[in-house]
Structure 1
Amino acid sequence: MDAGDRERRRVTRARERSSSRTGAGSTVLRALSVGNLDDNDTMEDERLKNDLLERKVVAPRYSLVREIGRGSYGVVYEAIARRSGALVAVKKLRCDAPENVELALAEFWALASLEKRHENVVHLEECVLQRSGMAQKMSHGNKRSRQYLRLVETSLKGERVLSSPQEPCYLWFVMEFCEGGDLNQFILSRRPDPHTNASFMLQLSSAVAFLHQNNIVHRDLKPDNILISERSGTPVLKVADFGLSKVCAGLGMASGCRASDETEDNKNKNNINKFWLSSACGSDFYMAPEVWEGHYTAKADIFALGIIIWAMIERITFIDAESKRELLGTYVRQGADIVPVGEALLENPKMVLSIPQRRRSQMSDALRKLLQDMLAVNPQDRPDALELHSRMGQVTCAA
């Protein structure tokens, strides 16, 4: 062992001791080595080799440092890659209940389907399935893995087929680490900065355009799900949390996506806005009117982005009833109540939104018009993601 290895191990042990004091423990995520199969092997040989891979465990690859977030179905940790010493984020999802498996697989399928990286979309390093002290690296659509197929079966059947309550199963998502927190924390802890606002608007529109070009509807865009990386010296946004996302390419009538036309041209990746979705999901304050009705397209992401940008520019916030946190988000006042914009527009489609909301706002006319278009009641009146990114570039350059 050379001096570099000794130093890395010393740092890792120190981090593990520190994490045990903060309550996260020194849990270690193990992963399987992935062997190559000879093309000439028979199917029986391949099955036997895959069985061996599912049982073979190699040295620990990541050490958990501390817990940095907790949601309804998972926990997120800061972790260290033992080989490189790099910090990563590790999301641990318990895959016992079918609804948890469905959310985990949705996130895995969305991130694993991306053939290219985008600066403003969180990057998935790898996904590992852990059960009975063993672990297996997951690959999208791996029909040779019994564990993967059981996960899919659990999601489709809506009943547990992978493990018993006494034998918990987990999916671990290893992703890039974002040390700047989420968009709420970043914006509300700093003084207003027009330059940062313009940069963030352009980054957000770029991320959504990339996702829609890759046939992914996020369906839960909100400041909580937009993370900040500051490694480059300037803040870089990362759209994250794809648990409610839907990959619509080539799905036709299956899996909750339905093409509005029967022509082949409307089924390619450039026509994601031709796919209709029916699951009313997301977070109330960012949901488009049509989502409340359960009949919508990718244009719902454009509406959510309009709410986020409007709130960010004018620093409009509300107190979340459940978490008691101050969150960025616009709304409509109805007496003593505040109502999500989408819900208010659904009840009164002729309502005119007061953009800007604040009297002394310095919002430009071009941005006001763009926000009005993004928040149009009729989704057909909203720009698609590519048009939005182009117009956002013009707005930010003019500013």
Structure 2
Amino acid sequence: DERAQPQLSAGEVVSGLAVEELVGVGGFATVYRARRPGGAAYALKFIPLDADVDRVLREFAILLKLRHRNLVQVVAMGLYPEEAPEFLWLQMGFVEGERLDRYARTRNLSARDVARRVLEVARGLAVAHAEGVVHRDVKEANVVVRARDGEAVLVDFGAGTYEEAVTVTRGVLP
């Protein structure tokens, strides 16, 4: 029983963004890189409407609260396809770079380099915590080292929550 994924090809347009390529498929969402003509790149995260849409709405609400250079930024949310929606999508800033786990494996990082990346993630988390947001899934795969300046950016707030949020966890585990 495979989860539904949007089958988008390069050049297809979603809300004015031209899809460039598939970035990744997780247990919850499918992410594509897309771009406005002549503009910046964005991540389009697609979640099937028959999935836990409350989680996506919570992630959107979380990201609306947060603005910091070490946190991914949300831009918009919508439905795809517009005529007969099957997916909810989030448009976020695309962090051009490498996941922290890959970045660390391909470089001989000094203790100073490691401390800098940890400090950058901690700065982002401090902003999130000041807004009452908890990420709940901080790991190397959810940190991207931005290519243009080498700074760490925390992404994927899909498991996150905040103080006023409705509980969306299902099952016996908290």
Give me the TM-score of the superposition, normalised by structure 1. 0.39
Matched, 1:202 2:119: yes
Find out whether 1:95 has 2:6 as its counterpart: no
Partner of 1:241: 156
Q: 1:293 to 1:94 in 2, by over 3 A?
A: closer
| CA distance in 2: counterparts of 1:215 and 1:200, whole angstroms | 23
Equivalent residues in 2 for 1:38-53, closer than 5 Å: none
Instruction: For residue 195 of structure 1, give the secondary structure of its aligned residue in structure 2.
Output: helix
Q: How far is the alpha carbon of 1:108 from its aligned partner? A: 0.8
For this pair of structures, how many residues does the alignment match?
167
1:280 deviates by 9.1
Residues 66 and 79, structure 1, Cα contact 8 Å, conserved in 2: yes
Deviations 1:178-237 (A, max 9, x none): 221211111111112222112112111111111100010111111111112122xx3111
Structure 1 unaligned residues grouped into runs of 5+: 1-22, 31-60, 134-166, 257-277, 282-291, 295-399
| Corresponding residue for residue 53 of structure 1 | none
**Aligned twin of 1:69:** 24
Matches of residues 138-287 of structure 1 in structure 2 within 5 Å? 167-231=84-148, 234-248=149-163, 251=164, 255-256=166-167
Corresponding position: 1:24 with 2:18? no
Indicate if the aligned counterparts of 2:77 and 2:90 stay in contact, CA closer than 8 A. Answer: yes
Structure 2 partner of 1:79: 34
Larger radius of gyration: 1
**What is the alpha-carbon distance in structure 2 between the residues aligned to residue 255 and residue 177 of structure 1?**
28
Q: Does 1:120 align with 2:74?
A: no
Q: Does the Cα contact within 8 Å between 1:106 and 1:244 map onto a contact in 2?
A: no
Q: Judging changes above 3 Å, is the alpha-carbon distance between structure 1 residues 280 and 209 closer, same or farther for their aligned structure 2 residues? A: farther
Percent identity, aligned pairs only, is: 28
Q: What is the identity, as a one-letter code, of the residue corresponding to 2:9?
A: A
- Alignment CA distance shift 1:131-1:90 (3 Å): closer
CA distance in 1, matches of 2:170, 2:105: 29
C-alpha separation in 1, matches of 2:141 and 2:170? 19
Contact preservation (8 Å) 1:80, 1:86: yes
2:44 maps to a residue whose letter is V
- For structure 2, list consecutive stretches of 5 or more residues without a partner in the other structure: 1-7
Which residue identity is paired with 1:172? Answer: W
Do the aligned partners of 2:10 and 2:18 also contact (CA within 8 Å) in 1?
Answer: no
The two structures, once aligned, show a CA RMSD in angstroms of 2.5
Moved over 4 A (4+): 278-281
Bigger relative CO (Cα 8 Å, ≥ 6 apart) = 2
